Structure 1
């Protein structure tokens, strides 16, 4: 098997928002620059007023005459900016004149921010609170819940295994765009993350899982995303069901054995067991249905073993980076291999 390599860099929505927030903050700091000449001018005016007041007191006319004649000019407003260091202690006080023109500009910026927030509020859902009985081993996945499902607060459900086995949404969305076809099989659907995104790009999805509880969770999550009508749910063993099915593409994301797979220097398909069947057996079974296979695997998967699966064909070995970190790899076979390098890929044409 000839292997071509590709790296895909994806970013979660929350990471984009953090970056945008940092840019806005730095821009605001640049706008609020210090104008020392205004502060000096203000001090000079105060000194002149105090000197004139003292001379009038000595002349015995203090308080009898105005200090300015015929002036209707209002004193310029001063904006005070207090800066704090990293420890929260006050480090510097800055003053800036507030002109009417500048005030209008700031009002425009505030209106823009309000409009942007209003757009978000149209679909605002109250944030789900962290479950009191959440297992400590799942807390880091809870912190990443919006990367797993952007509609998490709309009622997404996950079981214990689902927290660490569901595909981050931005990656599953990327897969779905590449797979787009008439009929696709998600052979290990779990809590439905992959099936949901596939249903948004494919006409029909067949989702399989041997755990009926996971199928019920996946059905519920599909309703949250409004795609339940495009997914056919099958409860059973993929090794028994696949020989009786047909599809344009088969998506394989079998259990990797929990988070412990990362502790091994290399992940191999022959040790990824599903009952008495291995990951290699699964691949060859899928090949009997279609050559268009997408195999979603850990980032430390053996390249040599992937190369040996189909020695006479080409496959694409895609590195999936998430927020600049290598997260997973995806193997594309058949018409899907190197499809991005061709002008008109058509996975339905070969089966």
Structure 2
């Protein structure tokens, strides 16, 4: 799949929906529709979601807190000033990152055109100026592979560099909120991250290395599997449970950059 930064606005399609009455909502989405203001507090201003986005979007309060907690920036040397949302969906986390004001560059990756069109539309509703977010229509794994390939090729200054792929590894943080394989994870007391679909824990971690990255995972994820991701050299990983109304919604695993990342620049 091609890496294509979006120039302008993707067209909205019949998959981009806004429900105003419960009678319009499919039965499997009614539970989520009743929680619509926790997903987007500005829902009534014509927030658009695809069918699958109702299951996957990060609740706004959680997205905002994650945006506050994401490791940054001016306190580090060099500063972390680029964030890449690898599974942007309809924009829940991307919007929060942009509104936080912590990043010089916010890059949002989404492979589905209708979903990315919703994200662009929703960002505009939240009054994020054009140009603050770089929207990229691409598969996130293809995107990361090409970023690393471009870095390894040591592109000369006079050669054309795709700005969406031009990342300084030492200044970049990746955020991955992947699909979890539906809602069946709720039936497991301890969720086996090796069975997460369509991407398991190892696949996600390997794709994101060596850059600093954060993984948004089910709240019951197996901590033993997460502990194995700890890098060599004594660096620790941080695991945070994010709650709403006293109940955990998800956990985020914060993983530091590997030692050689500081010397890798796109």
Give SS of 1:314's match.
coil
Alignment match of 1:265 (pick from 164, 189, 206) = 189
- TM-score (norm. length: structure 2): 0.73
User: Which of structure 1's runs of 4+ aligned residues deviate more than 3 A?
Assistant: 348-351
The equivalent of 1:334 in structure 2 is 256
Task: Find out whether 1:284 has 2:206 as its counterpart.
Answer: yes
The equivalent of 2:237 in structure 1 is 315
**Considering only aligned residues, what root-mean-square deviation do their CA atoms show, in Å?**
2.2
Superposed CA deviations along residues 19-47 of structure 1, whole A, max 9, x for unmatched, are xxxxxxxxxxxxxxxxxxxxxxxxxxxxx
Alignment match of 1:198 (pick from 94, 97, 102) = 97
Change over 3 Å in CA distance of 1:273–1:164 after alignment to 2? closer
Deviation at 1:129?
Answer: 2.7
Give SS of 1:160's match.
coil
- TM-score (norm. length: structure 1): 0.56
Distance in 1 (alpha carbons) for counterparts of 2:126 and 2:24? 27
The equivalent of 1:188 in structure 2 is 87
Larger mean CA deviation between 243-252 and 137-146 belongs to 243-252
Give SS of 1:194's match.
helix
Deviation at 1:215?
Answer: 0.5
Deviation at 1:350?
Answer: 9.2
Larger Rg: 1
Deviation at 1:234?
Answer: 1.1
Deviation at 1:349?
Answer: 7.8
Deviation at 1:273?
Answer: 3.2
Distance in 1 (alpha carbons) for counterparts of 2:107 and 2:231? 29
The equivalent of 1:299 in structure 2 is 219
The equivalent of 1:141 in structure 2 is 32
The equivalent of 1:250 in structure 2 is 174
Give SS of 2:52's match.
helix
Alignment match of 1:130 (pick from 8, 16, 21) = 21
Deviation at 1:131?
Answer: 5.0
Q: Which has the higher helix share?
A: 1
The equivalent of 2:247 in structure 1 is 325
- Superposed, 1:82-231 pairs within 5 Å as 129-179=20-70, 180-181=72-73, 182-201=81-100, 202-227=103-128, 228-231=130-133
Uncovered stretches (5+) of structure 2, i.e. residues with no partner: 1-18, 74-80, 148-164
Distance in 2 (alpha carbons) for counterparts of 1:132 and 1:143? 12
Deviation at 1:269?
Answer: 2.5
The equivalent of 2:9 in structure 1 is none
Give SS of 2:24's match.
coil
Superposed CA deviations along residues 198-250 of structure 1, whole A, max 9, x for unmatched, are 01122221111111111101010010112243111111211110131425210
Uncovered stretches (5+) of structure 1, i.e. residues with no partner: 1-127, 336-347
The count of residues paired between Structure 1 and Structure 2 equals 209
Distance in 1 (alpha carbons) for counterparts of 2:49 and 2:207? 29
- The answer to whether the Cα contact below 8 Å between 1:334 and 1:350 also exists between their aligned partners in 2 is no
Give SS of 1:229's match.
coil
Distance in 2 (alpha carbons) for counterparts of 1:326 and 1:273? 21
Distance in 1 (alpha carbons) for counterparts of 2:24 and 2:61? 28
